[in-house]
Homo-oligomer: A and B are copies of this chain.
Amino acid sequence: LDETSIVRLKGARLVGLDWGTSALRAYLFGGNGDILAERSAPSGVLHLDRFLPTDAAHARRETLFEAALDDVCRDWPATIVSQLPVLACGMVGSTVGWKEAAYLQTPAGTNELAKALTSVKRANGSVVQIVPGVCSYGVAGASLPEIMRGEETQITGLLSAPKAANMANNDDLLIGLPGTHSKWAQVREDRIVSFTTFVTGELYALLTNHSVVAKTETKSPHLEEAAFQAGLRLGQSESGEAAGGLLSSIFSTRSRKILGELKQEEQPDYLSGLLIGAELAGVHRVLAREKRKPADFAAVVLAGERGLCARYQSACRTVQWPRTEIAENATARGLWSVARQAGLVG
């Protein structure tokens, strides 16, 4: 680090940690919530074994979290970092995390999250605060029990973004967070009131990497648009050739290839369209229980990995949802937002 960088980092006010199952991302925030620096490491809560000290066969689990945190911050001056409050979200608060941060029941927003932080005291005496997850038992018979951990912070960040603040009505949003386990949440008056999870990303990965039905070594370097759209149409539909449902439609990834209707390099995008189509149809039916539809919301906002959000945006357009917006840096914004609300930063 050169002199200028150090001067700049001296303005830091918070260390924010997005600590998931497979990765850890650290943000150093300035006084306005601006990101001064960020680093990431493959130190997800299930991948901390590399911090096991060689001389101790059974290290206490806490020491692994301590070591991973020190490691991800190691490029930043310890004299600066050691003075800062630390706020973490994600699987770090699960039963396999550093310390369990119990789920808050919906409705929950920034205010409720900030009041329910879980503290972990480090060996050096400083404290790490952990954002709770959110759960929802919903109306009896109407909703499956649901849980999120990390996404509540992402949603909080999305609500605090300038773009969302400019919306005509920030009180009634439909928020999509595509990923391994996609979440779709309804937000009213800045609180998450209900949400639904779809295992879309995980199923896509399992099927393309391990299955007989859709595993392929030949991946296309670009989006196979026609195959994606064909999959999407099938996934959206609930009658005609889609009558057998998803378990049947998935098999068409294989049968269409064997019968020459689909090229090998088109299989992954066909399957992706199929699963995303089924997810969007599911969101539609979930909303229909309350006699609502995507167009009834002030806005539909997506957040998550950029390429995946773009793919969902295109899918939403195809199935004629209202125009979706993509929010950037939602988790980082959310960490700042919760920290400010909790009084961790001035």
- Interface of A with B (CB < 8 Å)? 21, 95, 103, 135, 137-138, 141-147, 180-181, 196-200, 202-203, 206-207, 210-213, 234, 239-252, 254-256, 258-259, 261, 275, 278-279, 281-283, 285-286, 288-289
Query: Are A142 and B241 in contact (CB-based, < 8 A)?
Result: yes
**A135-B259, A199-B213, A213-B202 in contact; A282/B248 too (CB < 8 A)?**
yes
Residues of B within 8 A of A258 (CB): 95, 147
Other A-B pairs, 5, CB within 8 Å; known A95-B258, A243-B289: A141-B240, A146-B255, A181-B212, A181-B213, A181-B251
Residues of B within 8 A of A255 (CB): 135, 144-147, 197
* Chain B residue at minimal CB-CB distance from A247: B198
Which interface residue of A138, A252, A282 has the most chain B CB atoms within 10 A?
Answer: A282
| Protomer copies | 2
Query: Are A243 and B282 in contact (CB-based, < 8 A)?
Result: yes
Q: Please provide the 9 A-B residue pairs with the shortest distance between their CB atoms, ordered closest to farther.
A: A245-B282, A244-B282, A198-B247, A197-B251, A243-B285, A206-B206, A144-B252, A144-B241, A246-B246
Residues of B within 8 A of A245 (CB): 245-246, 278-279, 281-282, 285
* Chain B residue at minimal CB-CB distance from A279: B247
- Report the separation of the CA atoms of residues A255 and B148 in the bound assembly, to the nearest whole angstrom: 9
* Chain B residue at minimal CB-CB distance from A180: B212
- Report the separation of the CA atoms of residues A250 and B180 in the bound assembly, to the nearest whole angstrom: 13
Query: Are B196 and A244 in contact (CB-based, < 8 A)?
Result: yes
Which interface residue of A145, A199, A234, A283 has the most chain B CB atoms within 10 A?
Answer: A199
Query: Are B241 and A288 in contact (CB-based, < 8 A)?
Result: no
Query: Are A142 and B240 in contact (CB-based, < 8 A)?
Result: yes
* Chain B residue at minimal CB-CB distance from A261: B145
* Chain B residue at minimal CB-CB distance from A184: B244
- Report the separation of the CA atoms of residues A289 and B254 in the bound assembly, to the nearest whole angstrom: 23
- Report the separation of the CA atoms of residues A279 and B243 in the bound assembly, to the nearest whole angstrom: 11
- Report the separation of the CA atoms of residues A82 and B203 in the bound assembly, to the nearest whole angstrom: 48
5 A-B interface contacts by CB (under 8 A):
A144-B251, A147-B255, A243-B282, A245-B246, A248-B282
